[in-house]
Amino acid sequence: MDRAKGIDVSRYQGVIDWAQVAQAGYSFAAIRATIGDYYTDPRFAENWQGARDNGLLVTAYHVVKPAIAANAQMMRLLDALADRQPDLPLALDVELKDGCPEQQVLDVTRACLEILTGEGLRVI
């Protein structure tokens, strides 16, 4: 079974040679856009454009912070996306409970999904 190769990037990878990524056989990139309601990855726009300019399909992901209201978080993500249209569904990265009860993590994540799908966006 053939599978598409993808890459997940954020500022931590530094400056990416997107031509080299494409030549290595990667077909898509998931690019970190935001964290909570307080952080936009400083390389988000650069990585989005670099991946797209080199023929990769692109999407963005948001790191959910369960202690922060979903609406504020999704506004941060939507602001970072601006007029960019992802080729693939957006992704939510839910890694930490941040000391919150499990139900709160579920509720905030569900609310984030509802906001994005209400905006007509596909999400995984």
Which positions are annotated as active-site residues?
A: 8, 95
Dmax (CA) for the chain in angstroms is 44
Reduced 3-state DSSP string for the chain? CCCCEEEEECHHHCCCCHHHHHHCCEEEEEEEEEECCCEECCCHHHHHHHHHHCCCEEEEEEECCCCCCHHHHHHHHHHHHCCCCCCCCEEEECCCCCCCCHHHHHHHHHHHHHHHHHCCCCEC
Residues 12, 108: Cα–Cα separation, whole Å: 26
